[in-house]
């Protein structure tokens, strides 16, 4: 009984604040002076759920979401942003999204902790009539056994108020491999006819990690270069883990390691420290690749302490995500997918 009363109260609250129409701020009371009408301010409530604040790339991305929303504000239109840290825990993020729904957000921008939970969250958000912009972690179609398929995701295709904004991770992997293939020795430093590499992977549940791992090597083999995988370990996008994995591989395989591919720059920063500690020199006796083009890494590519990286355009992606969210707030029709290109970064 108590439960029913609580649900009814929640429903009443929900109905009261989730009309989808902007709230009217400023002086909107019926006794207001007539001139107050012209100063009415529409405030849109925006819920942004980030998979984890403690992530170098997503920190740049989320800060730019906030900055860019600010630049779009006018005297009459304001954006009230609530940003949550999923702490890389799906249960925590689910609670946060449930909170967004009860608070009646006008739009939700969602960077999933686990793309395998996309269906459950999309269903709730769609049922609450809130437009949804998925970012950074692309949910993929999957078969009945849960294997990912190279097809667009039905949860996006079938819901006109749901879309994905991101970059095609295949492109970033391909660019990493091409950077090595384009080196004068094609990555074969010791001239034994093959490129012996170590792969440091991001979160394996994430398609960015899967595709970067696959396509970096595919670019080499497509160029007719023979490869040998010495080691392939999961570093979960994390700098400290990247350093540990690289240090262990360098101890174990020594001079045989010719290339270290990292699925992102944070792990490449860790690997760079391990390379220095092992007395190796990037560009002379080893090559090092990352993805993201963090500012420190652009600097390192410039001074030769990193071979190359790939710009994961957080400005382009965050601005597109915000522009799409604003479109949704204005009742415009959304496309299913919005793609932002990666860019190869070499000296
Ligand atoms: C990738 C990025 C990684 C990490 C990850 C989080 O696109 O390259 O550094 O931020 O997203 O999902």
What would the DSSP string read from start to end of 15-75?
HHH-SSSPEE-SS--TTS-GGGGGG--EEEEEEEEES-SS-HHHHHHHHHHHHHHHHH--S
- 183 pLDDT exceeds 90? yes
- 229 pLDDT band, cuts 50/70/90, is very high
Q: How many A from CA of 99 to the centre of ligand 1? A: 25
Ligand 1 pocket test, candidate residues 169, 312, 316, 321, most atoms within 8 A of CB: 312
**Residue 151: predicted pLDDT:** 76
- 238 pLDDT exceeds 80? yes
Atom of ligand 1 nearest to the CA of 52: 6
pLDDT tens sequence across 277-321? 999 999 999 999 999 999 999 999 999 999 999 999 999 999 999
Give the angle subtended at the CA of 118 by the CAs of 115 and 120, to the nearest 5°.
Answer: 140
Q: Compute the distance between CA of residue 186 and CA of residue 182 in angstroms, rounded to an integer.
A: 6
For residues 230 and 190, the answer to whether their CB atoms sit within 8 Å is no
- 79 pLDDT exceeds 80? yes
Name the residue with higher pLDDT: 39 or 266. Answer: 266
Query: Sign of the C-alpha dihedral, residues 103, 109, 113, 116?
Result: positive
DSSP helix/strand/coil, 339 = strand
- 325 pLDDT exceeds 70? yes
313 Cβ inside 6 Å of ligand 1:
no
pTM: 0.87
Atom of ligand 1 nearest to the CA of 58: 10
Which DSSP state fits 286? B
58 Cβ inside 6 Å of ligand 1:
yes
Pairing of strands 23-24, 42-50: antiparallel
* Average pLDDT of the segment spanning 228-252: 98
- 23 pLDDT band, cuts 50/70/90, is very low
pLDDT tens sequence across 188-224? 999 999 999 999 999 998 999 999 999 999 999 999 9
**Residue 29: predicted pLDDT:** 38
Q: How many A from CA of 111 to the centre of ligand 1? A: 10
**Residue 103: predicted pLDDT:** 97
Name the residue with higher pLDDT: 116 or 165. Answer: 165
291 Cβ inside 6 Å of ligand 1:
yes
170 Cβ inside 6 Å of ligand 1:
no
Q: Compute the distance between CA of residue 115 and CA of residue 275 in angstroms, rounded to an integer.
A: 33
Atom of ligand 1 nearest to the CA of 206: 12
Q: In this structure, what are the phi and psi dihedrals at residue 339, rounded to the nearest 5 degrees?
A: -105, 140
309 Cβ inside 6 Å of ligand 1:
no
Q: How many A from CA of 181 to the centre of ligand 1? A: 24
Q: Compute the distance between CA of residue 294 and CA of residue 313 in angstroms, rounded to an integer.
A: 10
**Residue 184: predicted pLDDT:** 98
Q: Compute the distance between CA of residue 261 and CA of residue 235 in angstroms, rounded to an integer.
A: 12
Q: How many A from CA of 58 to the centre of ligand 1? A: 7
Query: Sign of the C-alpha dihedral, residues 91, 95, 96, 100?
Result: positive
Find all residues with CB under 8 Å of 51, minimum gap 6, and list them: 58, 86, 88, 93, 111, 112, 113, 136, 137
Q: Of 270, 339, 341, 282, whose CA–CA distance to 311 is shortest?
A: 341
pLDDT tens sequence across 242-277? 999 999 999 999 999 999 999 999 999 999 999 999
Q: How many A from CA of 319 to the centre of ligand 1? A: 17
Atom of ligand 1 nearest to the CA of 266: 9
- 39 pLDDT band, cuts 50/70/90, is low
Protein residue with its CA nearest to atom 10 in ligand 1: 57
61 Cβ inside 6 Å of ligand 1:
no
208 Cβ inside 6 Å of ligand 1:
yes
pLDDT tens sequence across 99-156? 999 999 999 999 999 998 999 999 999 999 999 999 999 998 777 676 777 778 888 9
* Residue given tokens 């129409």 in the structure block: 21
Q: Which two tokens stand for residue 104?
A: 């009646």
Q: How many A from CA of 211 to the centre of ligand 1? A: 12
The Cα-based distances of 83 to 49, 53, 68, 133 in angstroms read 6, 10, 14, 14
pLDDT, the chain, mean: 90
Which DSSP state fits 158? T
**Residue 345: predicted pLDDT:** 97
314 Cβ inside 6 Å of ligand 1:
no
Atom of ligand 1 nearest to the CA of 137: 12
113 Cβ inside 6 Å of ligand 1:
no
- 25 pLDDT exceeds 80? no
Q: Which two tokens stand for residue 199?
A: 């792969």
Q: Compute the distance between CA of residue 264 and CA of residue 344 in angstroms, rounded to an integer.
A: 13
Which DSSP state fits 332? P
């Amino acid at each position: 009984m108590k439960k029913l009363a609580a649900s009814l109260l929640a429903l009443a609250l929900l109905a009261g604040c989730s009309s989808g129409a902007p709230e009217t701020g400023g002086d909107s009371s019926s006794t207001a002076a007539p001139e107050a009408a012209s100063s009415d301010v529409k405030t849109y409530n925006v819920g942004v759920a980030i998979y984890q604040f403690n992530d170098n790339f997503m920190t740049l991305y989320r800060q730019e979401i906030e900055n860019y929303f600010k630049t779009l504000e006018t005297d009459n239109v304001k954006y009230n942003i609530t940003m949550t840290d999923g702490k890389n825990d799906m249960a925590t993020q689910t609670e946060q999204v449930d909170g967004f729904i009860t608070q009646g957000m006008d739009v939700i921008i969602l960077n999933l902790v686990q793309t395998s939970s996309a269906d459950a969250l999309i269903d709730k958000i769609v049922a609450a009539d809130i437009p949804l912009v998925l970012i950074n972690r692309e949910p993929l179609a999957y078969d009945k056994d849960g294997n990912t398929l190279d097809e667009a995701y039905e949860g996006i295709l079938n819901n006109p108020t749901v879309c994905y904004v991101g970059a095609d991770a295949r492109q970033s992997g391909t660019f990493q491999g091409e950077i090595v293939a384009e080196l004068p020795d094609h990555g074969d430093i010791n001239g034994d006819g093959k490129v012996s590499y170590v792969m440091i992977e991001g979160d394996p549940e994430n398609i960015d990690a899967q595709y970067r791992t696959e396509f970096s090597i595919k670019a080499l083999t497509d160029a007719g270069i023979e490869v040998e995988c010495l080691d392939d370990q999961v570093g979960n996008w994390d700098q400290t883990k990247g350093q540990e994995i690289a240090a262990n591989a360098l101890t174990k395989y020594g001079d045989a390691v010719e290339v270290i591919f990292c699925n992102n720059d944070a792990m490449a920063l860790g690997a760079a420290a391990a390379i220095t500690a092992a007395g190796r020199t990037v560009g002379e006796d080893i090559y090092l690749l990352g993805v993201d083009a963090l500012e420190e890494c652009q600097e390192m590519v410039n001074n030769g302490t990193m071979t190359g990286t790939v710009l994961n355009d957080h400005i382009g992606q965050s601005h597109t995500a915000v522009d799409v969210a604003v479109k949704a707030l204005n009742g415009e029709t959304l496309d299913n997918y919005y793609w932002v290109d990666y860019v190869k970064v070499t000296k």
